[in-house]
Structure 1
């Protein structure tokens, strides 16, 4: 049985992989690099600790919720090959290695994307979201921390797909409950209890793209209430942040409309968003 404390470089896991190093950690999982014949370019082992679930049955339910991601195949979404639950409730997920650091890493280094690069990144991510949503799946918590690449927008890959909505379902939170996801990127309806959806994925994306272009979120405030109140009003086009980086007016307008507090004012789906984004610089 695997234990986090024993996962050191060189350790064999699952009978066919070898740990290379710890890649990243967050509040709900730890990710390790793997070597194995199935993945000549490397793989990743993601571990979700048992305390997230409280019981073996809940851990199993979480794993089952993520099984559709094993069959999903899209170049802009990290593919999975295996899900497993240990007797102690530790959940293991094996997937392809993603390229480069996260978008958040580039942002932290002060690197901003040009309008053309924002368009390019958005189109690539929308390709993945359109396929996901067409398959009845949602990412549920899209943000710079889950977009990885080597600096070229066409290399971008989304990770951690389905984790937030699967936790939502596993913990029996129901159709409406407290916000699950990242408040800065979530649409206003999630603050009042709506579950993650295809629409919230698009709102997440619009926020992410605006931040990647300007270095700033389109919202004021740092706390839950302040952010919620800021989101009651559609972001203004031609903001100081947008002017400072010469954000293309068409792109600025599209992103602001995609962040409207009223769902009916936003792009209806990933296909519509993609169509408008493709024309935003013309």
Structure 2
């Protein structure tokens, strides 16, 4: 759907004359207020349902398709079937009908923008966002496929991103089967779909099943990662040849703004499987795809968590060695993605805790005169407070226990709480008394 900058100069012929100020005309019980957008299949208007007093998006079929009785019948029958699918990731259809020989659909008026509009605005999507969008689209497709309905035209222009929830809504079920952006093939046949997002079986004008929607979803995911579709051509015949005969570059072979596309390997493998030429090599159903997508998401998150895992190998250190900071502390290792060891310098934290945090000790059972308040009173005089030397403190003994929250992604800040045990053997060696 393409936005329109202004309303048409005169009301369309299929509208009845306006009955009040501020409207373009009437379509049955709907007051048509303004044109919101237009595309190859028709026009979208903001309208008011006079029966229920609610604002709706009114989609009216293009006159070129409306003249064909077969097209009118197909859009009405398909859309009525789709109206029975109630799902959070499918735009809700309120009514399907015909008026003055023109089919129309009344659907919920959504806030936000299409995925196509977001891509054109320059927005980029990280792997987690790509996975979230794909999962929501697959959920909506699964609900439709369960009723035997194939969309046939999954593309960014038919995926609405609601604001501010970021929920994905699939648009234009039913409209996709009524006509096509690819016309004029041999014998007067037409291919249903949009160049760039067609599956090979669509390009061959064969009977399709739900796996054709998964192929198109793979193209959308590829575009979200690379900024372009995998097999785009300058004209329709070349586009069809590319889809049938050429293998797309893998995402790791693509460049975006002069830089290599950086996509986690599990996600790249999943997308390239969706782009298989033969339907049998793709995922069998949207449900199977969602399970594979969940596995990919878990692999990516495990890779991130591995970058936080800290393996500490305690080393024999004495009090004086603490002054040397990280150089004399135990070796700290981090494992990322199950391969290689990356050294993490956390010794500085240990030294800082010892030198600057000597007063933060866990209180064991002590007599009243050894309470923290008494210690503060004794240390109130500057002359009675000797300097705190790191060499006089015991060494911090680290264990192999991981203290990081594994749910914190790499690159984000975390706060840790360390509990140090007071190991003083007597009041004379108790740092709370001495310092």
1:68 counterpart residue number: 81
CA distance, structure 1, for counterparts of residue 164 and residue 288 of structure 2? 24
User: Does structure 2 retain, via aligned residues, the 8 Å contact 1:257–1:265?
Assistant: yes
Pick closer, same or farther for the CA change 1:9–1:248 going to 2, 3 Å.
Answer: farther
Q: Quick check: which has more Rg, 1 or 2?
A: 2
Q: Provide structure 1 residue ranges, at least 5 long, that are not aligned to the other structure.
A: none
1:107 counterpart residue number: 119
1:62 Cα deviation from its structure 2 partner: 3.1
- Is the aligned partner of 1:246 residue 2:258? no
User: Does structure 1 retain, via aligned residues, the 8 Å contact 2:76–2:96?
Assistant: yes
1:58 Cα deviation from its structure 2 partner: 5.0
1:49 Cα deviation from its structure 2 partner: 3.4
Pick closer, same or farther for the CA change 1:9–1:212 going to 2, 3 Å.
Answer: farther
CA distance, structure 1, for counterparts of residue 146 and residue 128 of structure 2? 27
CA distance, structure 1, for counterparts of residue 134 and residue 267 of structure 2? 11
CA distance, structure 1, for counterparts of residue 249 and residue 165 of structure 2? 26
SS of residue paired to 1:67: helix
1:264 counterpart residue number: 280
CA distance, structure 1, for counterparts of residue 41 and residue 191 of structure 2? 16
Pick closer, same or farther for the CA change 1:21–1:184 going to 2, 3 Å.
Answer: same
Pick closer, same or farther for the CA change 1:259–1:219 going to 2, 3 Å.
Answer: same
1:11 Cα deviation from its structure 2 partner: 4.6
Query: 1:93 is matched with which residue: 71, 92, 105?
Result: 105
**Aligned pairs, number:** 274
- Is the aligned partner of 1:48 residue 2:61? yes
Pick closer, same or farther for the CA change 1:54–1:269 going to 2, 3 Å.
Answer: same
Pick closer, same or farther for the CA change 1:55–1:213 going to 2, 3 Å.
Answer: closer
Give the TM-score normalised by structure 1: 0.86
Query: 2:23 is matched with which residue: 10, 17, 24?
Result: 10
Pick closer, same or farther for the CA change 1:254–1:91 going to 2, 3 Å.
Answer: same
Give the TM-score normalised by structure 2: 0.57
Shifted more, 98-107 versus 148-157: the winner is 148-157
- Cα deviations across residues 185-220 of structure 1 (Å, max 9, x unaligned)? 011121111245311111111101110222111115
CA distance, structure 2, for counterparts of residue 68 and residue 142 of structure 1? 18
- Cα deviations across residues 70-113 of structure 1 (Å, max 9, x unaligned)? 211111111111112123x2112111112311111111111121
Q: Provide structure 2 residue ranges, at least 5 long, that are not aligned to the other structure.
A: 1-10, 300-435
- Is the aligned partner of 1:274 residue 2:290? yes
- Is the aligned partner of 1:77 residue 2:77? no
Pick closer, same or farther for the CA change 1:220–1:13 going to 2, 3 Å.
Answer: closer
Pick closer, same or farther for the CA change 1:252–1:93 going to 2, 3 Å.
Answer: same
SS of residue paired to 1:31: strand
Query: 2:150 is matched with which residue: 138, 143, 148?
Result: 138
- Cα deviations across residues 153-176 of structure 1 (Å, max 9, x unaligned)? 8411111112122448xxxx9xx9
2:229 counterpart residue number: 217
- Is the aligned partner of 1:29 residue 2:42? yes
- Cα deviations across residues 26-66 of structure 1 (Å, max 9, x unaligned)? 122000112347475x3110111343143557524531232
Shifted more, 143-152 versus 155-164: the winner is 143-152
1:235 counterpart residue number: 248
SS of residue paired to 1:184: coil
Q: Which has the higher helix share?
A: 1
2:346 counterpart residue number: none
User: Does structure 1 retain, via aligned residues, the 8 Å contact 2:145–2:210?
Assistant: yes
User: Does structure 2 retain, via aligned residues, the 8 Å contact 1:177–1:194?
Assistant: no
Shifted more, 220-229 versus 22-31: the winner is 220-229
